[in-house]
């Protein structure tokens, strides 16, 4: 048992690296390294006095005027939702989309065809291809506008369990940014060569496409440089309401932590993808098997619980008393009550009750803390009942009350 506890503590506190999930899930309610809790709160107060609205269901009629923002792994829309988003931007609004997987249908809607036809992959594909990526452990980002560019580029790297790993850094294909086209404008570069932040004019508004959503996760916004970069990127939004799209479109699943939607993964797959949770799962299964093995052995017959013997003496006495009262035998009932009183005195105060004299009265008064006068009344009334041949109802009731008062006041 001690060994099992040590193993669990090791994997949960050391192997778990702080019990955080290092997957790129971009959950706005998560404080994991690659959640978007901080950027969501940043945007809530980015334009003071302007409303911040959350899009949870379909876009539909939720978009009025302002800026639409999405940060995630893939932004995948059906034709109806895409048409609604295009009309929203066309009216003079902005859509900020930060994800490495831009829908081909959206690019086709923005591209004027000046640079050629690049929709051969179909409307449901994305431009995420190996020749549109930079495989490396570290990348450097910067802006082109002089007022936003920094003398030192902004460094970004992919961490998993606090270890730097190689990552495919996506960029906007150069084919969409030929010299003849006027739709796409480069706003930022990655590694001083490829565009990872572009704007695309559409109607009276524009789309802002960013292919490095890692820059807007909790891990980088906790640093001063990361927060500075995100603030500069969002400075391209127009002042007004912000529509935060927190729906998850990601169909990909990568157990190594390179993407995937938490909503579309089975809980067991996620557990097995995390070393500490996987070890806990295996240990739980092992303990369950051991329990079944030992439980299968011959077990001792269950010993039934016997009820305590009930003391029926008081019930018997009560029954006899009611019988005497019904038979109008008051003297017998009074004698029975006196016998119970003397038994009570002997068991509780250890006094002899053979002679009910003055010594008995004083001794009982001292031990019971009941006035001596009251005890004398009980004894005198008992003597009168015993010596008389008739006992009225009133006398019986008085005798009963004297005894009940003694029971109440005695200690």
In this prediction, residue 18 carries a pLDDT of 53
pLDDT for 39 beyond 50:
yes
% pLDDT > 70, the chain:
78
In this prediction, residue 249 carries a pLDDT of 64
pLDDT for 325 beyond 70:
no
- The residue ranking higher by pLDDT, 264 or 191, is 191
In this prediction, residue 323 carries a pLDDT of 55
Q: Write the pLDDT tens digit of every residue in 144-164.
A: 999 999 999 999 999 988 889
Q: How far apart are CA 125 and CA 188, in angstroms?
A: 24
In this prediction, residue 141 carries a pLDDT of 96
- The residue ranking higher by pLDDT, 367 or 262, is 367
pLDDT for 405 beyond 80:
yes
% pLDDT > 90, the chain:
31
In this prediction, residue 101 carries a pLDDT of 81
In this prediction, residue 37 carries a pLDDT of 92
pLDDT for 183 beyond 90:
no
Alpha-carbon dihedral 259, 261, 262, 268, rounded to 10 degrees: -70
Look at the block and give the residue holding tokens 């008992």.
382
pLDDT for 253 beyond 50:
no
Mean of pLDDT values over 12-29:
69
Q: How confident is the model at residue 129 (pLDDT cuts 50, 70, 90)?
A: very low
In this prediction, residue 19 carries a pLDDT of 63
pLDDT for 317 beyond 70:
no
- Tell me the average pLDDT of the chain: 80
């Amino acid at each position: 048992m001690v060994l099992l506890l040590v193993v669990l503590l090791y994997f949960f506190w050391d192997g778990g690296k702080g019990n955080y999930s290092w997957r790129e899930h971009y959950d706005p309610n998560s404080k994991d390294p690659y959640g978007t809790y901080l950027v969501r709160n940043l945007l809530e107060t980015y334009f003071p006095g302007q409303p911040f609205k959350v899009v949870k269901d379909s876009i539909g009629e939720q978009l009025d005027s302002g800026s639409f923002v999405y940060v995630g792994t893939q932004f995948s829309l059906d034709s109806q939702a895409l048409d609604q988003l295009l009309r929203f931007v066309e009216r003079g609004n902005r859509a900020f989309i930060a994800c490495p997987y831009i829908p081909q249908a959206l690019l086709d809607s923005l591209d004027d065809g000046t640079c050629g036809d690049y929709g051969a992959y179909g409307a449901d594909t994305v431009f995420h291809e190996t020749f549109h990526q930079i495989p490396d452990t570290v990348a450097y980002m910067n802006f082109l506008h002089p007022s936003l560019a920094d003398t030192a580029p902004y460094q970004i790297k992919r961490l998993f369990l606090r270890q730097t790993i190689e990552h495919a850094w996506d960029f906007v294909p150069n084919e969409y940014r030929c010299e003849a086209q006027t739709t796409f404008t480069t706003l930022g570069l990655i590694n001083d060569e490829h565009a990872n932040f572009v704007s695309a004019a559409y109607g009276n508004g524009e789309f802002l496409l960013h292919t490095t959503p890692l820059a807007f996760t909790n891990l980088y916004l906790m640093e001063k440089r990361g927060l500075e970069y995100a603030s500069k990127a969002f400075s391209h939004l127009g002042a007004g309401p912000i529509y935060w799209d927190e729906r998850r479109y990601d169909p990909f699943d990568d157990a190594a932590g390179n993407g995937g939607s938490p909503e579309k993964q089975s809980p067991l797959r996620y557990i097995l993808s995390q070393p500490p949770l996987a070890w806990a799962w295996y240990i739980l299964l092992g303990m369950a098997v051991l329990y079944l093995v030992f439980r299968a052995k011959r077990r001792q017959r269950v010993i039934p619980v016997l009820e305590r013997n009930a003391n029926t003496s008081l019930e018997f006495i009560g029954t006899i008393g009611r019988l005497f009262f019904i038979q109008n035998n008051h003297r017998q009932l009074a004698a029975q009550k006196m016998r119970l009183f003397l038994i009570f005195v002997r068991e509780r105060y250890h006094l002899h009750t053979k002679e009910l004299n003055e010594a008995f009265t004083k001794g009982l008064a001292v031990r019971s803390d009941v006035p001596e006068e009251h005890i004398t009344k009980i004894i005198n009334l008992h003597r009168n009942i015993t010596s008389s041949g008739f006992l009225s109802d009133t006398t019986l009731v008085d005798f009963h009350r004297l005894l009940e008062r003694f029971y109440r006041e005695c200690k």
